[in-house]
Amino acid sequence: MSLNEHQPMSGAGKTLLSKIQDRSARVGIVGLGYVGLPLVQAVHDAGYGVIGFDVDDTKIQKLKRGESYLKHLGDVLTQTLAASDRFVATSNEQILAHADIVILCVPTPITKQREPDLRYVLGSGQSIGRVLREGQLVILESTTYPGTTRDLLVPVLQQGAMERGLDLQPGDHFFVGYSPEREDPGRSGMVTSKIPKIVGGVDPDSSLLTTEFYRSCIERVHPVSSAEVGEASKLLENVYRAVNIALVNELKVVFERMGIDIWEVIEAAKTKPFGFQAFYPGPGLGGHCIPIDPYYLSWKARQVGHETRFIELAGEINRVMPRLVVNHALEGLREEGKELRGAMVMVIGVAYKPDVDDIRESPAAEIIKQLLMRGARVKYHDPHIPSFPSMRHYDIKLDSVPLNEQELASADCVMIVTDHKRIDWDLIGRKASLVVDSRNAMESYRKEHKENADAWSARVIKA
């Protein structure tokens, strides 16, 4: 429904719409991580006053000093925000009472049982509920299952207001929308303002206000009929990727037994100009979306009496990939008369994807854990991650070592998990003895620099 077709809205809605149209609305963004901070940039660039809220005071203090804590965003953004009179960084939730629009960009992990863990959404909703007032728009950007915004977030907001004696009704007194984040850290030129935005609300007024707000700071906005459609669309995007990655991971194992190179097969298949999109195998899934989000849908499906067999099967295949990579190292070492137990394995790259300092759900953590459990000694090199950070399910205490001749010579096996551009592949090829390559990085380099690769002495196993 367009603005002209919309039925008359409440006085609170009209007031907020006017503030959006003249950019006088103040926007609070809760959660200043990989999703929230780029959104701060888009909203601030659109001319709004922005309140950046995070419970991590370390981030707040760095923002106040203009220091970047997300390398892929650079220093210019944080320096610009620190110098701006339209940006405030805070860990005081009371300041959110001054925001006309509050956007939640908080994590939605899964439990060990692979069920939704919505503690951050509910906790943030409680914080906003304690300051909720008439005329505010609350938007959830976190990935979640259909129904979360309407059935969980709205009641939490209302309960917070009720505890202060306020009977606020969505669509009349305050407004609630959903717009899934689509951040892809490290992708060149893909800034938040240029990534198309899906938007939906829990009622017509909420949908319209959410749409009009995002249209003021995002180049392309796609309204949908409800918050539930928006929630489902995000899950479809990530289930699609998870299932197709599982397919090529499974085919990799099958083709390997046939003596066929899966990478060459994919390169051949993708010459077809229609009906095929290339996905690539790897050591396992990583990042904040694909390893987690499909389980939100499979959990919700069980609540309505249906099994999502594709999702469950894809999860099983993708979860086993770290073990298969470790098995390649074990077999490669045995072919050289060595055992994995006691061997020194040098892991190259621990970020979940190339050229970022993001380690969320990285398969490197499970690979290192399995190597240690099998008695290997482990070190790693990653130019973007100087120390292995603490993770929800892993506590790995390692620091990155230099990539030089001495470190490579002391390694019985070099295992490529993440193919950063800043890695010296030629040095690895010349000085490593055994390379287990889960990213086809060595072959890619060989094709471009055959004159260098001809001098390699390393034995390379594609994993």
| Each residue's pLDDT tens digit, 402-452 | 999 999 999 999 999 999 999 999 999 999 999 999 999 999 999 999 988
Whether residue 361 is contained in a domain is answered as: yes
Task: Give the Cα separation of 354 and 420 in Å (integer).
Answer: 5
Within a domain: 173: yes
Strands 175-178 and 413-416: what pairing?
unpaired
Domain termination site, one of 158, 191, 225: 225
Q: Residue 179 — very low, low, confident or very high, per pLDDT cuts 50/70/90?
A: very high
How many structural domains is the chain composed of? Answer: 2
DSSP H or E segment with residue 137: strand 137-140
3: left (phi over 0), alpha (psi -120 to 50) or beta: alpha
Are 337 and 295 in a shared domain? yes
Q: Based on the residue annotation, tell me whether 105 is a catalytic residue of this protein.
A: no
* 339 and 192 in a common domain: no
pLDDT band at 378 (very low <50, low <70, confident <90, very high): very high
pTM of the model: 0.92
Residue at a domain's end among 176, 200, 225: 225
| Domain span including residue 172 | 11-225
pLDDT in tens, 290-301: 899 999 999 999
251 and 194 co-located in one domain:
no
What digits encode the pLDDT tens for the residues 342-354? 999 999 999 999 9
Supply the pLDDT for residue 188: 67
Same structural domain, 125 and 150: yes
Residue 372 belongs to some domain of the structure: yes
Measure the CA–CA gap between 311 and 329, rounded to whole angstroms: 29
Cα 214 off chain centre by: 21
pLDDT tens digits along 73-128: 889 999 999 999 999 999 999 999 999 999 999 999 999 899 999 999 999 999 99
What CATH number has the domain bearing residue 96? 3.40.50.720
The CA distance from 77 to 355, in Å, is: 19
Q: How far apart are CA 71 and CA 442, in angstroms?
A: 26
Whether residue 37 lies inside any domain: the answer is yes
**Are residues 115 and 168 located together in one domain of the fold?**
yes
One domain, residues 185 and 262: no
Residue 216 has which token pair?
């003021």
In angstroms, rounded to a whole number, what is the distance separating the alpha carbons of residues 60 and 421? 31
pLDDT at 194 over 90: yes
- Does the residue 318 lie in any domain? yes
Average pLDDT over residues 310-329: 96
Q: Looking at the structure, do residues 184 and 254 belong to the same domain, yes or no? A: no
Statement: residue 5 has pLDDT above 60: no
As a whole number, the mean pLDDT across the chain is 95
Question: Quick one: average pLDDT of 199-225?
Answer: 98
Find the catalytic residue in 105, 217, 289, 413. Answer: 289
Q: Yes or no: say if 460 and 433 are a contact pair by the CB < 8 Å rule.
A: no
**Residues 343 and 253 placed together within one structural domain of the fold:** yes
Residues 6+ apart with CB under 8 A from 459: 332, 433, 434, 435
Q: Please compute the mean of the pLDDT values over residues 58-82 and round it to a whole number.
A: 93
Looking at the fold, whether 195 and 271 belong to one and the same domain comes out as no
State whether 391 and 249 are in the same domain: yes
Instruction: Identify the pLDDT of residue 8.
Output: 64
Among residues 168, 196, 225, which one ends one of the domains?
225
Query: Is the same domain home to 112 and 154?
Result: yes
Whether residue 219 sits in one domain with residue 282 = no
The answer for 243, left when phi > 0, alpha when psi is -120 to 50, beta otherwise, is alpha
Task: Judge whether 4 lies within some domain.
Answer: no
> pLDDT tens-digit profile of 230-257?
999 999 999 999 999 999 999 999 999 9
pLDDT digits (tens, 9 = 90+) for 128-165: 999 999 999 999 999 999 999 999 999 999 999 999 99
CB burial readout 397-433, b (16+ within 10 A) else e: ebebbebeeebbeebbbbbbbbbbeebebbebbbbbb
Q: What pLDDT does 7 receive? A: 61
Res. 2 pLDDT band, cuts 50 70 90:
low
Q: What is the average pLDDT across 360-384?
A: 97
Q: Which pLDDT belongs to residue 74?
A: 85
